[in-house]
A and B are shown apart, each in its own frame.
Chain A
Amino acid sequence: MSNRTGRGQGFGIALSAFVAFAVGAVTALSLLLGDNPALFGDQPGSAQLAGLLALPADVLLRLVTIVVALSIVIGIANLLTTHVGRLSRGKFYSAVLLASFGFTVYWYVTRRGDTSLLEAVQVPIESALAALLCLSLLHGGSRVLGKRADIWGLLFVAVAVIVLLASTPIAELAPVQAWRDWLMRVPVGAGARAMLIGIALGTVVTGVRALLGQDRSVRG
């Protein structure tokens, strides 16, 4: 890791941290105030004021959407540079990829709006992969206790078996369906919520760190 921290670099770090903080704070405030016209009472013009306050967030978020959409260009550049580099090392699949890329671009430029290539290639291949995925999942499910030989592994397998059995329309398995319903409603619901709350907590902490300019990627 480089230890260079010159004055210019220090300024760059401060500037990027400031920009991150400023943009984040403006967006957060704008969202908080602008989304709630009730804050300004019933006076005439309060709705307009709320709309005005919501404007920065709207503009910034719309910009983000545009940037995200445009980032596909970065992706294509990345894909091409990686595979051109590999091509020079004689990788056959890279050559196939680059040739396919060129052909697909040609196809869409000459036949605007024709998605048949996508339908004929991408969709069947993804469908085949989805079928393979089923086998991978089955194999993974059959060796849970090989990976986690503890009570939690056992519980995981038991729940998986109950849920699978309950999804079959066999009259004799009706009691299992009641267990499944309870499992889904109580422990699974609680667990899923706990995980999502945990992720939300982590998101807030990371967001706050980014807003404070403490995040490494924000610090330049």
Chain B
Amino acid sequence: MDEEFNWLEYSESMEATAGDGEAPGKSRGLRRFLPGRPSLPRLRRGSRAASGPPSASDILEGQDERALADLDERLRALRERSVAASQPAAPAHQALYDVDDLLASPDLQSKPGGVISAVALSKAQERQVEMLRDIVGGPSQSQGTGGDRQLPVFSLDAAPRLLGTALLILVVCLPFVSSDYAEGELPPSVFPEDRHGPRDMYNLLDNLSRDDYVLVGFEYGPTAAGELDLLADLLLRHIFAQRVKPLIVSSNPIAVVHAQNVIKDINRSLSSADAQLVHGEDYFLLRYLPGGALGLRELSENFADIVRISARGLPTGLEFAALEEMTELLLIAESAEVIRNWVEQVLPEAEGSRLLVATGYAAQPLAQAYAEGMEQIVGPLFGIRDAFTYGEKLRATFGAFVSVEPPVGPVIEPAPVNAESDSQAELPRATQAEIEDAPATALPQPTETAPPTATPFMTDTPPAPTLTPLPTDKPAPTATEASIRIVEVTSDQRVNIRLGPTTVHDILALGYKGDMFEVIGSNGDGSWYQILLPAGVEAWIAAFLVEERVVSASEFAGAQDSASASESAARAVMQLGFTLRLGKNRPRFYQAQPPPSGDRPELALHRDRSLETPRLQAMTLGTLAAVLVIVFGNTIYALRGLLRGPRAQGR
């Protein structure tokens, strides 16, 4: 018996037989086993071209009214039997006589001499026999197909599941119990050089100042909490530490609640009551956006209305005209679809801002592709390992100053700063420890050393190959020169100024429309200009964002009225891996100084880190256990399949 039983074929043959009385060409399907041909009435009304083999339901489908009285006598009997089937089984011999004949015997498996057991039944046939048994109320023979099957408390089928689960739980718990089970290496404390996305992301967030607002898309719920909570916690801490106000929004209602929980956890880590983050002052939780992609479109187009109402339905007091007023957009999302929606619906309206993306493993490939393909998208940071590195860097940045009290004056002579600018908020947080280690020349030594807890991160951004010492024969522009070749930023958006002439080089600084830089060269095809930042630092800017012209030295000097820091200081800063902060509308320069007094380093530092390492190790061990279970399970199934032959395998 080579071909599998086909119930559908069987129905068809029954129909053909009953309909016009023609003898079928040959018996098919289960009919082979029949002692005689049952004479069933034609059930189907009208003719319908079959798109595939008609099923039993096809046969019945044509009946518009299914009142019981209209049913054929045998169908009614069939139906009554099926209702009775849930009762204790009636003797199968007394059930439908045709079917009874069909089956030859109710215990067809247990009777070795029976008609059917004489032939090997395929799985499909066994299923159909079981189905017929179900209808006639006969005792069930198989465990495999019945939907009524009760879940066993313990069965051999459940053993692999239980073992796999037990193994996973065991290995995941081990690192929390003892440190002897550490497996794998901890993530680096700095992002590797080839990962520009996370480095840029850190720099851009670190570059925020107190009057900036960040729109945070908080797009994950408890499902991804294990993977993303730490990352969200750190990113928010970084923002809060600089007194930047995040506007948190989500298209997932549970995520709004979850965001609140993450902030509560941050508050719990802060000791004093007056240091607590307060909704409406330090952050804003906006109302949930229904409608998926359309909700996000609504956010981008009606930003002003949406920011007025908080998640609790109360007025926020925020007045923004458009999404463009956000300095940056930060998206913490668990699914690729949400990232796509943000990129397609929100980002086009946020001119001048970047979308910084943090995500999990599942959405990482898409986020990576976006970040590589679109200038406006930065990142991605993904998973718990990146979170660990981010946390280390954050701690290093803020940590060094905590015990240096008070800061021993400016390490480098402060440059004159514009009266109208908030000089405190614009200062970077280069640490004394870092400056000490910096191979920069002519740096005055601080009188007080950094505390031992500070982690210098000199290895973070080693000088890039393109960073060459400023040629001594190229003096900074002075008023004595008649004219200078410059480029002026013409793009309405903020532009990236990079370490080298490609978009994969680190972002060094941000330029704004109207900013002017002296040109000192260009790359081969003229698509990038090499410019001299006012502090004497060489950098590159894409040609299509700027306009080249020649100006008089005095005009150029006027544009740079914020003056320059010393060359050595700028170079030291470069080597420390900071973004040069040019400020809005006019260039301003980095100076290596303690953090502004307005910053709140405790937010970055007061974290419970005791569980971070065991958690990472648990993840490693858990992944290895999962691989083991998957490989072992599939090997067993593959072997079983090979031993039983292809037809006996589950479908």
Which residues in B have their C-beta under 8 angstroms from that of A185?
Answer: 365
B369 touching A189, Cβ below 8 Å = yes
Binary interface encoding of chain B residues 214-239 relative to chain A, with 1 for a CB under 8 A from any of its CBs, else 0: 00000001111110000000000000
Whether B499 sits at the interface, judged by CB under 8 Å, is no
Whether A62 sits at the interface, judged by CB under 8 Å, is yes
B630 touching A170, Cβ below 8 Å = no
9-residue interface stretch from B111-119, B181-189, B325-333, B569-577: B181-189
A169 touching B630, Cβ below 8 Å = no
Which residues in B have their C-beta under 8 angstroms from that of A127?
Answer: 222, 225
B257 touching A149, Cβ below 8 Å = no
9-residue interface stretch from A21-29, A84-92, A116-124: A116-124
Could you tell me the distance between the alpha carbons of A146 and B294 in the complex, rounded to whole angstroms?
A: 41
Known: A167-B623, A169-B385. A142 touches B257 (CB 8 A): no
Whether A32 sits at the interface, judged by CB under 8 Å, is no
B365 touching A188, Cβ below 8 Å = yes
Could you tell me the distance between the alpha carbons of A144 and B633 in the complex, rounded to whole angstroms?
A: 9
Majority secondary structure of chain B interface residues (helix, strand, loop or mixed): helix
Which residues in B have their C-beta under 8 angstroms from that of A164?
Answer: 623, 626-627, 630
A133 touching B223, Cβ below 8 Å = yes
A171 touching B185, Cβ below 8 Å = yes
Task: List residues of B (282-303) whose CB comes within 8 Å of A's CBs.
Answer: 290-291, 294-295, 297-298, 301-302
A168 touching B223, Cβ below 8 Å = no
Known: A3-B64, A58-B301, A123-B254. A146 touches B637 (CB 8 A): yes
Could you tell me the distance between the alpha carbons of A187 and B364 in the complex, rounded to whole angstroms?
A: 15
Known: A112-B312, A126-B221, A168-B624. A119 touches B257 (CB 8 A): yes
Partner of A161, one of B222, B260, B631: B631
Could you tell me the distance between the alpha carbons of A138 and B634 in the complex, rounded to whole angstroms?
A: 11
Which residues in A have their C-beta under 8 angstroms from that of B222?
Answer: 123-124, 126-127, 129-130
Instruction: Write the nearest CB–CB distance from A49 to chain B, whole angstroms.
Output: 19
**CB closest chain-A residue, reference B640:** A146
Which residues in A have their C-beta under 8 angstroms from that of B33?
Answer: none
Could you tell me the distance between the alpha carbons of A133 and B185 in the complex, rounded to whole angstroms?
A: 27
Instruction: Write the nearest CB–CB distance from A157 to chain B, whole angstroms.
Output: 5
B627 touching A165, Cβ below 8 Å = yes
Which residues in B have their C-beta under 8 angstroms from that of A169?
Answer: 184-187, 385, 616, 620
B637 touching A64, Cβ below 8 Å = no
9-residue interface stretch from B158-166, B446-454, B559-567: B158-166
Binary interface encoding of chain B residues 601-628 relative to chain A, with 1 for a CB under 8 A from any of its CBs, else 0: 0000000000000001000100110110
Binary interface encoding of chain A residues 132-152 relative to chain B, with 1 for a CB under 8 A from any of its CBs, else 0: 011100110111111101000
Binary interface encoding of chain A residues 176-191 relative to chain B, with 1 for a CB under 8 A from any of its CBs, else 0: 0000000011001100
B312 touching A184, Cβ below 8 Å = no
Instruction: Write the nearest CB–CB distance from A156 to chain B, whole angstroms.
Output: 10
Task: List residues of A (57-100) whose CB comes within 8 Å of B's CBs.
Answer: 58, 61-62, 64-65, 68-69, 72
Could you tell me the distance between the alpha carbons of A3 and B62 in the complex, rounded to whole angstroms?
A: 11
Task: List residues of A (29-65) whose CB comes within 8 Å of B's CBs.
Answer: 58, 61-62, 64-65
Which residues in B have their C-beta under 8 angstroms from that of A154?
Answer: 638
Whether B123 sits at the interface, judged by CB under 8 Å, is no
**CB closest chain-B residue, reference A153:** B634
Whether B629 sits at the interface, judged by CB under 8 Å, is yes
Could you tell me the distance between the alpha carbons of A66 and B369 in the complex, rounded to whole angstroms?
A: 34
Partner of A65, one of B258, B295, B369, B620: B295
A2 touching B183, Cβ below 8 Å = no
Whether A115 sits at the interface, judged by CB under 8 Å, is yes
B223 touching A130, Cβ below 8 Å = yes
Could you tell me the distance between the alpha carbons of A34 and B461 in the complex, rounded to whole angstroms?
A: 47
Could you tell me the distance between the alpha carbons of A129 and B225 in the complex, rounded to whole angstroms?
A: 12
B64 touching A2, Cβ below 8 Å = yes
B630 touching A160, Cβ below 8 Å = yes
Partner of A139, one of B161, B226, B623, B637: B161
Whether B320 sits at the interface, judged by CB under 8 Å, is no
**CB closest chain-A residue, reference B294:** A65
Partner of A69, one of B290, B314, B368, B634: B290
B187 touching A115, Cβ below 8 Å = no
Which residues in A have their C-beta under 8 angstroms from that of B168?
Answer: 134-135, 138
Could you tell me the distance between the alpha carbons of A62 and B302 in the complex, rounded to whole angstroms?
A: 10
Whether A113 sits at the interface, judged by CB under 8 Å, is yes
Which residues in B have their C-beta under 8 angstroms from that of A130?
Answer: 222-226
B260 touching A115, Cβ below 8 Å = yes
**CB closest chain-B residue, reference A154:** B638
Whether A194 sits at the interface, judged by CB under 8 Å, is no
B64 touching A1, Cβ below 8 Å = yes
Could you tell me the distance between the alpha carbons of A144 and B649 in the complex, rounded to whole angstroms?
A: 12
A119 touching B369, Cβ below 8 Å = no
A145 touching B632, Cβ below 8 Å = no
Partner of A192, one of B185, B366, B634, B637: B366
Whether B646 sits at the interface, judged by CB under 8 Å, is yes
**CB closest chain-B residue, reference A137:** B626
Which residues in A have their C-beta under 8 angstroms from that of B298?
Answer: 61-62, 65
Could you tell me the distance between the alpha carbons of A157 and B626 in the complex, rounded to whole angstroms?
A: 12
Task: List residues of B (364-401) whose CB comes within 8 Å of A's CBs.
Answer: 364-366, 368-369, 383, 385
Could you tell me the distance between the alpha carbons of A170 and B183 in the complex, rounded to whole angstroms?
A: 8
**CB closest chain-A residue, reference B632:** A142
Whether B524 sits at the interface, judged by CB under 8 Å, is no
B294 touching A68, Cβ below 8 Å = yes
Which residues in B have their C-beta under 8 angstroms from that of A171?
Answer: 185
Whether B313 sits at the interface, judged by CB under 8 Å, is yes
B313 touching A113, Cβ below 8 Å = yes
B630 touching A141, Cβ below 8 Å = yes
Q: Interface residues, chain A, CB within 8 Å of chain B?
A: 1-3, 58, 61-62, 64-65, 68-69, 72, 112-113, 115, 118-119, 122-124, 126-127, 129-130, 133-135, 138-139, 141-147, 149, 154, 157, 160-161, 164-165, 167-171, 184-185, 188-189, 192
Q: List 7 A-B contacts (CB under 8 A).
A: A61-B297, A62-B302, A123-B261, A126-B254, A147-B651, A164-B627, A169-B187
Across the A-B interface, give the 8 residue pairs with the lowest CB-CB distance, nearest first.
Answer: A142-B633, A113-B312, A146-B637, A126-B222, A169-B184, A127-B222, A145-B637, A69-B290
